[in-house]
């Protein structure tokens, strides 16, 4: 009979092939519509043709080439939860053509897709993502047609799909862990069944015949397991989405399942070959070639330790982020429908858009329509020769000071400056007053950059104190180094207060802050009114309420945390199983030596010193490497010339402690399992004596 660990892991293969297919399909569906064969990203427009002419040309091309052409655009009010697909139908009998009447078959529930006739785009900007549903070569004809109308863009013949989602870190980690689980579970199952294989070999069975027997037994297990998994999956999909995109789901499931089965069969064959390398008598005693088995176990154990360390760090960061986001809910509820502005990425004339949109934002700022809350690295406000400061800096306008309290040491709230003033107030917490001279000296460098079009502008800098231990709300403002789920409060920040509509900020700076989610309109209707007519109607791509952004980010954090927690549990299981496998290999190889040393009075540690020494060396090396890497990284980040690491790659300083916990857990299990097998060897030796 097959060892139960083999049947268990094959059942796991079935379940996780379905789970990973579901997760990747849902992620791909949120990113883009399905069934497209290619897409064209139109970014530049000469303005020589009207939108109505573009619509007529696209519809004519669709009919001539018998394809369907779609234009994918986000919803202005809910760009993260809804998109619009404008469809020109040239192939009426195709599946995508039915979407106009039956609706788009979304796989998930998080993003809704509304399908409209292409003619409804007659009064809208023609730039964006054009998708072809049909023969791929039609995308080049579409590009040429639009080029004749003054629209230029790039062709992509390999549109993203569910397979691209596998490369995401969280899915790749889960995929890798399942494979590692398969390798160690199947390998251990075959090795633990060495005695049964020894009996079969004693009766003249060849390796090929034994493998065929194992596969036949596995096939008998697979039939009911597959039927049960398939029935449960069909019932769930029917309830969840009515079997939408079922073909893609089936392809993804079979891909994952095929990889898992291949890994399982290759491991099974390799482990069985390893068993056959030992003599029949050794197999009857449960012994296997220890050197190769030990190398194989450590080949899985070492990378698993590194993987578990990364996943443990992600779980810790996610848990902290969830807690911090939960604490900020009240602040987001108070701002109501205050929204960020999203600008189109399909505009080729970037400089023109920055200038015109920036000028509009300046006028809106002068009218007090939005809150400015922009996070900046502190080194931009200190002299270049000084050490990299470790305190946060927040750029705000007068409207921010009216909405959010920033108080002096006496408790008095700072209010708006005189309208149109060029006085920059530098609000420094009492706890950071030692940096005042550097900040006052460094602020002119920052203001000179902002006023590059007005070099003669006289900017006054006034340092003022604020109360220490003060939390300042950021409205979720983004920075290049900000991580997902970061708490939207800054503790004792240096606040740089710029008057509404002041010339201190450049138009392009306004636009840059808006693209970093640092401009928050209190009333979304102000944006809708401004974007009713060109050119702003082409530039603005949507509005995202800051509170909704925070809620969606919180939900995403919870989903990622659950998957990361599973990855951590599965990775820890692999780590524990490899430790148990090493103990099994060691005890079976050295059974006689262990018994002889025991009756000679050897202590446990001395009896198993070889295995314990290797484990101790591995633990010390692993912890030392992690500690060295952490210290080196943190020292490099103190250098002002070193750019901050990208999101998700920051070091928290807790990595050595996580590594210590991982090695302690692994070493503890090795000792516990080794103790159990030690006692078993002693009992068996005593009974044979």
Q: How far is CA 352 from CA 41, 48, 355, 535, in A?
A: 19, 17, 5, 10
Residue showing tokens 């602020």: 443
> Are 449 and 375 within one domain?
yes
In a domain, 610, yes or no: no
Task: Let me know if residue 660 belongs to a domain.
Answer: no
3-state class (DSSP) for residue 464: strand
Within 13 Å of residue 533, how many CA atoms lie on the same side as its CB? 1
If asked whether residues 43 and 10 sit together in one domain, one would say no
Domain end point (choices 130, 159, 188):
159
Cα R_g (the chain), whole angstroms: 32
Last residue of a domain, one of 490, 522, 554: 522
Name the residue range of residue 2's domain: 1-27+164-288
Q: For position 451, what pLDDT does the model report?
A: 60
Note whether residue 579 is domain-resident: no
Q: Is the CB of residue 331 less than 8 Å from the CB of residue 488? A: yes
Query: Are residues 501 and 377 located together in one domain of the fold?
Result: yes
Q: 372 and 514 share a domain?
A: yes
| Residues of the chain predicted below pLDDT 70 | 47-48, 76-77, 79-80, 160, 165, 167-170, 279-293, 345-346, 348, 383-388, 418-421, 450-457, 478-486, 552, 555, 636-652, 685, 687-689
Q: Which distant-in-sequence residues (6+ apart) come within 8 Å of 553 by Cβ? A: 325, 484, 485
Is 58 part of any domain? Answer: yes
Considering the domain architecture, whether residues 146 and 262 belong to the same structural domain is answered as no
Provide the domain count of the chain.
3
The values of phi and psi at residue 483, to 5°, are -100, 155
Do residues 146 and 181 both lie within one domain? Answer: no
- Do 441 and 358 have their domain in common? yes
Whether the model pTM is above 0.85: no
At residue 479, the pLDDT reads 56
Residue 107 placed within a domain: yes
Co-location of 270 and 351 in the same domain = no
Coil, helix or strand at residue 88: strand
In a shared domain, residues 377 and 499: yes
**Within 13 Å and on the Cβ side, how many CA atoms surround 577?**
24
Helix, strand, or coil (residue 664): helix
Q: Clarify whether residues 278 and 345 are in a common domain.
A: no
Q: What is residue 492's DSSP assignment?
A: S
The pLDDT tens digits of the residues spanning 432-472 come to 888 888 888 777 777 777 665 555 667 788 889 999 888 89
pLDDT for the residue 647: 45
Q: Considering only CA atoms, which of 521, 646, 561 is closest in space to residue 326?
A: 561
CATH number for 123: 3.30.1240
Tally the residues of the chain: 689
* Strand-pair partners of 471: 491
Domain final residue pick, 97, 126, 159 = 159
Does residue 351 share a domain with residue 279? no
- CA-nearest of 33, 29, 37, 31 to 142 is 37
**Proportion of the chain in helix, strand, coil states, percent, rounded to 5:** 60, 15, 30
Q: Is residue 82 in some structural domain?
A: yes
| Same domain flag for 97 and 79 | yes
Whether residue 674 is contained in a domain is answered as: no
Task: Let me know if residue 326 belongs to a domain.
Answer: no
């Amino acid at each position: 009979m097959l060892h139960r660990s083999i049947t268990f892991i094959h059942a796991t293969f079935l379940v996780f092939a379905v789970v990973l297919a579901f997760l990747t399909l849902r992620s791909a569906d949120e990113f883009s519509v399905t069934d497209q064969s290619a897409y064209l990203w139109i970014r530049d427009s000469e303005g020589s043709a009207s939108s109505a002419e573009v619509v007529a040309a696209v519809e004519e091309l669709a009919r001539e080439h018998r394809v369907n052409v779609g234009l994918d655009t986000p919803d202005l009010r809910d760009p993260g939860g809804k998109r619009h697909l404008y469809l020109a139908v040239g192939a009426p009998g195709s599946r995508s053509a039915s979407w106009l009447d039956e609706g788009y078959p979304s796989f998930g529930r998080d993003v809704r897709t509304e399908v409209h006739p292409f003619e409804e785009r007659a009064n809208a900007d023609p730039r964006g993502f054009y998708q072809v549903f049909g023969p791929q070569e039609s995308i080049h004809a579409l590009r040429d047609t639009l080029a004749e109308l003054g629209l230029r863009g790039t062709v992509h013949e390999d549109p993203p799909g569910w397979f691209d989602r596998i490369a995401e870190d969280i899915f790749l980690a889960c995929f890798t862990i399942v494979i590692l689980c398969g390798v160690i579970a199947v390998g251990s199952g075959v090795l633990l069944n060495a005695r049964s294989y020894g009996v079969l070999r004693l009766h003249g069975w060849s390796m090929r015949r034994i493998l065929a027997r194992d596969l036949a037994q596995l096939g008998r297990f697979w039939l009911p397991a597959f039927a049960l998994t398939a029935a449960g999956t069909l019932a769930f999909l029917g309830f969840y989405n009515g079997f939408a995109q079922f073909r893609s789901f089936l392809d993804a499931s079979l891909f994952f399942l095929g990889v898992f089965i291949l890994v399982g069969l290759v491991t099974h064959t390799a482990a069985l070959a390893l068993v056959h390398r030992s003599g029949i008598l050794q197999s009857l005693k449960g012994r296997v070639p220890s050197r190769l088995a030990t190398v194989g176990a450590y080949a899985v154990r070492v990378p698993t330790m590194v993987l578990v360390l990364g996943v443990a760090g992600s779980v810790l960061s996610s848990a902290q982020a969830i807690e911090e986001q939960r604490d900020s809910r009240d602040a987001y509820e108070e701002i109501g429908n205050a929204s960020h502005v999203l600008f189109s990425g399909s505009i080729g004339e970037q400089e023109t858009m920055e200038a015109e949109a920036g000028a509009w934002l300046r006028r809106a700022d002068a009218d007090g329509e939005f809150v400015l809350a922009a996070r900046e690295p502190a080194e931009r406000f200190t002299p270049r020769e000084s050490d990299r400061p470790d305190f946060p800096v927040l750029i705000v306008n007068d409207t921010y000071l009216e909405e959010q309290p920033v108080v002096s040491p006496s408790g008095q709230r700072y209010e708006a400056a005189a309208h149109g003033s060029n006085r920059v107030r530098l609000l420094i917490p009492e706890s950071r007053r030692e940096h005042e001279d550097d900040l006052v000296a460094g602020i002119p460098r920052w203001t000179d950059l902002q006023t590059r079009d007005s070099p003669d502008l006289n900017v006054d800098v006034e340092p003022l104190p604020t109360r220490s231990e003060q939390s300042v709300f950021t409205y979720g403002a983004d920075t290049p180094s900000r991580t997902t789920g970061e708490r939207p409060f800054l503790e004792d920040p240096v606040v740089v207060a710029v008057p509404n509509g002041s010339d201190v900020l450049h138009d392009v700076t306004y636009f840059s802050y808006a693209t970093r989610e640092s401009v928050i309109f209190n009333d979304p209707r102000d944006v809708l009114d401004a974007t009713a007519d060109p050119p702003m109607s082409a530039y603005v791509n949507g509005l995202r309420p800051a509170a909704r952004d925070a809620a969606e980010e919180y939900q995403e954090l919870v989903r990622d945390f659950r998957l990361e927690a599973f990855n951590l549990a599965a990775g820890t299981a692999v780590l524990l199983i490899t430790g148990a496998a090493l103990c099994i290999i060691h005890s079976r190889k050295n059974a006689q030596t262990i018994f002889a040393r025991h009756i000679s009075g050897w202590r446990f540690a001395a009896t198993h010193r070889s295995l314990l020494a290797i484990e101790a060396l591995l633990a010390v090396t692993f912890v030392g490497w992690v500690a060295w890497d952490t210290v080196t990284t943190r020292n490099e980040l103190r250098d002002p010339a070193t750019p901050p690491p990208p999101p998700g790659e920051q070091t928290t300083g807790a990595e050595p402690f996580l590594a210590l916990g991982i090695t302690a857990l692994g070493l503890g299990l090795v000792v516990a399992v080794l103790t159990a097998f030690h006692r078993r060897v002693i009992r068996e030796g005593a009974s044979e004596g």
